Copies of this chain bind each other. A is one copy, B any other.
Amino acid sequence: MSKVVFGQLGRLKPEKIQEYEALHGDPWPEVLKTIHDCNLRNYSIFRHEDLVFAYFEYVGQDYDADMAKMELCPHTQAWWTRTKPCFVKFSIRPDSEFYADMKQIFYFP
């Protein structure tokens, strides 16, 4: 099984930091199940001030197809109505709704 690692950067609205952390401190089981079903593993989110960084590993065969599948999950859609408004839109990258992929420049297992 192949593994691809992803790093994503986002910027939160200062008044939404507490809410974003509270949501992720008690994530919805249905959302976690969908993450797993869409072949994401070892998922971490870190925060420094208003910057958030997400790291995860993709272990499936078709990332775009799995992300399309994730978008169809009604629980995940409801989760995103709570989490996406926490972000400063377009602050990191103009084509990003919330998290933007970063370029990986080093990997050592």
Contact = CB atoms under 8 A, between A and B. Distances in A.
Chain A binding site: helix, strand, loop or mixed by DSSP? strand
Contacts of A108: 27, 32, 35-36, 43
The number of times this chain is found in the oligomer is 2
A100 interface: yes
A102 B24 contact: no
A48 to B, nearest CB: 4
A42 interface: yes
Interface in A6-26: 7, 9, 20-21, 24-25
Which 10 interchain pairs have the tightest Cβ spacing? A7-B46, A46-B102, A45-B106, A24-B106, A48-B102, A43-B108, A55-B55, A53-B53, A21-B105, A9-B48
Interface residues of A, number: 34
